[in-house]
A and B are shown apart, each in its own frame.
Chain A
Amino acid sequence: MIELKNVERSYKTGHTETWVLRRVNLTIRPWEFITIMGPSGAGKSSLLNVLAMLDDQWKGEFDFDGEAVHRMNRKQRADLARRRIGMVFQSYHLLDDLTVAENIDLPLSYKDIPRAERQSLVADTLDRFQIVGKKDLYPHQLSGGQQQLVGIARAMIHTPALLLADEPTGNLQSKQAKEIMEMFRQLNEEGTTIVQVTHSEANAAYGTRIIELRDGWIYSDTAGEVNNTAAEVGQ
């Protein structure tokens, strides 16, 4: 589904260039539930931003379902991301002025979807995540776990193929974190590919594969051999 070849990312600060991603090669197949781990500053968020197509400053090759992302311009990337990718954030990033239902509707509002269809999609999603009762509340009236649930619902409303989550439970207590992880597992079983960043071994256990980043390098990958095989097949 995703193929990264020699992806590099650096920040220029003054005269020095700091590398945050170094020659990253990564293949992600459909149905995978990948956990990215590593010490703070290792480049986990940076990698996720590349995958989310929010970042354009990287070098290398990036194929998404056979489409060459590295040859796309900003608009094409944004279109692709809008169709295929959902994002969940550590600090939820719900908009304070919008109700739960309106927050969930947000990604749809940026697509050409008829109003009626949008409404039914929102209703379905509220139903699916069991937050119908909260639909008219504002984010600040919810607990952290509930807010993150809304965040996931929002990411999933347009049924993306890939769900990216940067420390989705970073602000939550372990009990709430567990619920979120259960939700992820369920989504994964229903067919969504998931890439999450976490510091928690417990969370990582929900996934099918763990990638560890250190100083921008892929330090270890529990599916290393698969990757190599793929490379061999490719040759």
Chain B
Amino acid sequence: MNGLIQDVKFALRQLRKAPGFTITAILTLALGIGANAAIFTLVHAVLLKNLPVVDPKMLVRVGDNDECCINGGAAYKNDYTLFSYDLYTHLRDQIPEFEQLAAMQAGIGYGSLTTRRSNDSSLPKSLRSEMVSGNYFQVFGLTPYAGRLLTPADDVAGAPPGVVMSYQTWQRDYGLDPTVVGSTFLLNTNPVTVVGITPPGFYGDRMTDTPPDFYIPMAMEPQLGPAHPTTILHRSDRSWIYLIGRIKPGTELPSLQAKMGGVLRGFLAQLPTFQRKGMEQNLAQSHVVLVPAGAGIENMQQNTGKGLRLLFIVSALVLLIACANIANLVLVRGMARRAETSIRMALGAQRRRLIRQMLTESVLLSCLGGLAGLVVAYGGTRVLLNMAFPDATDLPIQATPSTVVLAFAFGLSLLTGLIFGIAPAWVTSHSEPAEALRGSNRTTQDRSGWLQRSLVILQAALSLVLLVGAGLMAKSLSNLEGQNFGVKTENRFVAHFSPENAAYKQNQLQSLYDRITQDLHALPGVERVSLSMYTPLEGNNWSEGVQFQGRAEPKVGDEMGASWLRASPEFFDIVGHHVLRGRGITEQDTATSTPIAVVNEAFVKKFFSNGKDPIGAHFGVSGMQSVGDFEIVGVVSDVKYNNVREHTRAMYFRPLLQMAHTKPEDDTRSMYASAIMLQTKGSIDDLESQVRRTLANIDPNLTVSRYDTFQGQIRGQFNQERLIARLTLMFGALALVLASVGLYGVTAYSVARRTPEIGVRMALGANRGSVIAMVLREALMQAGIGLAIGVPVTWICTRFVQSQLYGVAGHDLVVLGGAVLILAGAAFAAGLIPAQRAASTDPVQALRME
């Protein structure tokens, strides 16, 4: 024990005596470990975490896709993930293998609830809700933090309206006020009672940066549902809920899956959609996939998984480079101290004692590096989370690395220290002391030299891979962001609101829209105002299958889909659509005038490829009886609305309040605008609060749920790509720095070792230039071999990121060439410093070193 303390003290003194080595080693470890712990924390929290519920292993999700929000018709690829409420109750009652099967709303809307506590005089807030079946909390086995949770008795028509508030909301907005439980709230102007508070850790059934504030029984769908003011609760042709169930112990998933498929087909077969000709195959192929739901609905996991896994691999490579660096540093140091060790051994020191001393030092170093790594990990996780979820309000992810993560990273650094501490200790203590003592004139062959060089070569190769990866990601992001969306963004703003939450009836909309447009126009500096169902690049999309007048009925499988939205006259100008032919939407397109549509170029290309004139053509969306519903009066330029990686979809635009002749009841929900766009002259101070005030003046229940610049909204589409591009760039840079430090270290060490030789060369006539060239040649040779290995490896690796790239070939020669140049430049810089030091060797001194 005493010996150990003595060893530690001595080791500390040794480390203090070589501050350059110590600091480099600790920094390298800190960055390597910290970056990895941070990434792994994110991966762990997002991809591997179970819901904080009872026995999550027994939870099973019916369906495996990320689909949203309300779907009509057959499921995509006949794989059912979204269900109608009636289909849910059918499955629930027909499948006894589930102890409980719960239903939950697929799309949790932003600000879907205009919320006010009934005895509170402040303005209503915009909060989020999720509709759930009455047994929702029983499936998860949760107990309330306060009051009670929902039960099946709450979820029947006519039951007293009771909702559950989330703990986070209770804490954030109501200061944990106990009187909230049992009090009345006005949700979208409907009075409900808050019956209880969820347990604190519970963040809903899925990982999201915007978890629900209220859990509302499905029975209240007609008042508070996603289709309000219409209802879809009992429409079997509207799929809008997810299913999670708790299976009974011993249930075999494959057979249950097959059984559920059968029950599903039995239900679908009765629906009119599936009785149409040509749907037989769809029906026969309809099925469900059961997946474990311990982590809940894994939409976010599916969306971010690929990127996170990529980052994980990247950071692991960085750790590898860092370990190579540590190995090199420790090796260099061990070798540099050979003479000292030899003298000690010649003086009778025991081999065991010497090895222990060296090990103490490297373990100590690892520990110090590990500690510094903790700091980096904590800070890094926070930074990462902010980068990954910039708009998150209540992200259910802790920004603290778990002990497992830390232990893993710490252990790794310890291992590196041990292995590479033992190697030189072993080599040294087994060398003949006389040999090492004989001096540098007969420099013994440097056994560790090749190992060091291989490590540097490995580092260079890995760095190249990372740099190329970073380059590809950056280029892809800039392609994505830099593409022509067809929009104009300067001085444009987007505000979201919902008249249906403020309980507006359909016949009140005209005057509401007029009033909003008028009042916002009256704000100084506001040039244009539009209302629309949604806006470009906000992630929303409505689409329908269209049928044309004078053409045959489309067959099942024909591509007849078109996206659409309703908008007010100034919308096209604000967004940046140019009217190319005919006209846009005007003030004259009122509820009572002839229903018209304006289409985009992609629509013309898709449906008028025969060269026929689209202007004057008629189409409808409710079968062949509807083909005369809308008349095309204009064509506008393409703007990307939805998927930034795909071509612009065929789109048509309709006035806000015109109703289709056919099935008008299906054409009312869309009359509720949810987006306001503004175009201003120059920048206006505090436009947001002016907009909020203007709406509140019209009706206090008109809350703004989201407000952003148009530019900011578009930027938000690339958050994940940006995160990955930035992180790979960061890691690429880190790898470059580490590899450069490695190369520098090895070169500097080699120069130090060769000082007498360099002195001789200079005494024999070598000038500065030739010495610099000699040292640089060696450094660049290692980098060169690294590149020679790295280029083909990179060539192979880029195939795995190809799917994440946009507009970039995996084998992008510019990126590859750039990365090679950067690496060569870094190697040159790393070699130049020791080379210059070598060139300024004083031959007199060098020759005296004997």
Give the interface of A toward B (CB within 8 A): 49, 52, 54-55, 75, 78, 81-82, 87, 89, 91-93, 95-96, 106-107, 110-111, 139-140, 154
* 10 A-B residue pairs with CB within 8 Å: A78-B765, A81-B765, A91-B441, A91-B850, A106-B764, A107-B764, A107-B765, A110-B761, A110-B767, A110-B770
Please tell me if B375 contacts chain A, counting CB pairs below 8 Å: no
CB contacts (< 8 Å) of A54 on chain B: these are: 762-763, 843-844, 847
Are B765 and A93 touching (Cβ within 8 A)? no
The closest CB in chain A to the CB of B850 belongs to A91
Please tell me if B766 contacts chain A, counting CB pairs below 8 Å: yes
Are A93 and B756 touching (Cβ within 8 A)? yes
Q: When chains A and B are docked, how far (Å) is the Cα of A31 from the Cα of B65? A: 98
Are B843 and A93 touching (Cβ within 8 A)? no
The closest CB in chain B to the CB of A93 belongs to B760
The closest CB in chain A to the CB of B848 belongs to A45
Are B765 and A95 touching (Cβ within 8 A)? no
Residue-wise interface mask of B (758-783) relative to A, using a CB-CB cutoff of 8 A (1 in contact, 0 not):
01111111110010000000000000
CB contacts (< 8 Å) of B442 on chain A: these are: 96, 139-140
Please tell me if B757 contacts chain A, counting CB pairs below 8 Å: yes
Q: When chains A and B are docked, how far (Å) is the Cα of A97 from the Cα of B53? A: 70
Please tell me if B443 contacts chain A, counting CB pairs below 8 Å: yes
Given contacts A95-B757, A110-B770, A140-B442, contact A87 B763 (CB under 8 A): yes
Q: When chains A and B are docked, how far (Å) is the Cα of A86 from the Cα of B770? A: 19
Min Cβ gap A164→B in Å is: 10
Are B764 and A87 touching (Cβ within 8 A)? yes
CB contacts (< 8 Å) of B443 on chain A: these are: 96
Are B770 and A52 touching (Cβ within 8 A)? no
Known: A93-B760, A107-B765, A110-B765. 11 other contacts (CB 8 A): A54-B844, A54-B847, A75-B767, A78-B765, A87-B763, A89-B760, A89-B763, A91-B441, A93-B759, A93-B847, A95-B761
Min Cβ gap A188→B in Å is: 21
Most chain B CB neighbours (cut-off 10 Å) among A54, A78, A89: A54
Are A110 and B764 touching (Cβ within 8 A)? yes
Give the interface of B toward A (CB within 8 A): 441-443, 756-757, 759-767, 770, 843-844, 847, 850
Min Cβ gap B453→A in Å is: 15
The closest CB in chain B to the CB of A98 belongs to B757
Partner pick for B441 among A49, A93, A107, A110, CB 8 A cutoff: A93
CB contacts (< 8 Å) of A89 on chain B: these are: 760, 763, 847
Q: When chains A and B are docked, how far (Å) is the Cα of A64 from the Cα of B759? A: 23
Q: When chains A and B are docked, how far (Å) is the Cα of A99 from the Cα of B441? A: 15
CB contacts (< 8 Å) of A106 on chain B: these are: 761, 764
Given contacts A75-B767, A110-B770, contact A95 B844 (CB under 8 A): no
Given contacts A87-B764, A110-B766, contact A92 B844 (CB under 8 A): no
Min Cβ gap A87→B in Å is: 5
Partner pick for A92 among B441, B762, B764, B767, CB 8 A cutoff: B441
CB contacts (< 8 Å) of B756 on chain A: these are: 93
Min Cβ gap A62→B in Å is: 16
Are B765 and A111 touching (Cβ within 8 A)? yes
CB contacts (< 8 Å) of A78 on chain B: these are: 765, 767
CB contacts (< 8 Å) of B760 on chain A: these are: 89, 93, 95
Are B765 and A52 touching (Cβ within 8 A)? no
Q: When chains A and B are docked, how far (Å) is the Cα of A111 from the Cα of B759? A: 17
Are A82 and B765 touching (Cβ within 8 A)? yes
Q: When chains A and B are docked, how far (Å) is the Cα of A199 from the Cα of B844? A: 20
Min Cβ gap A185→B in Å is: 23
Min Cβ gap B836→A in Å is: 15
Q: When chains A and B are docked, how far (Å) is the Cα of A89 from the Cα of B850? A: 11
Q: When chains A and B are docked, how far (Å) is the Cα of A140 from the Cα of B765? A: 23
Q: When chains A and B are docked, how far (Å) is the Cα of A169 from the Cα of B807? A: 74
CB contacts (< 8 Å) of A154 on chain B: these are: 764
Q: When chains A and B are docked, how far (Å) is the Cα of A87 from the Cα of B763? A: 7
CB contacts (< 8 Å) of B767 on chain A: these are: 75, 78, 110
Min Cβ gap B62→A in Å is: 72
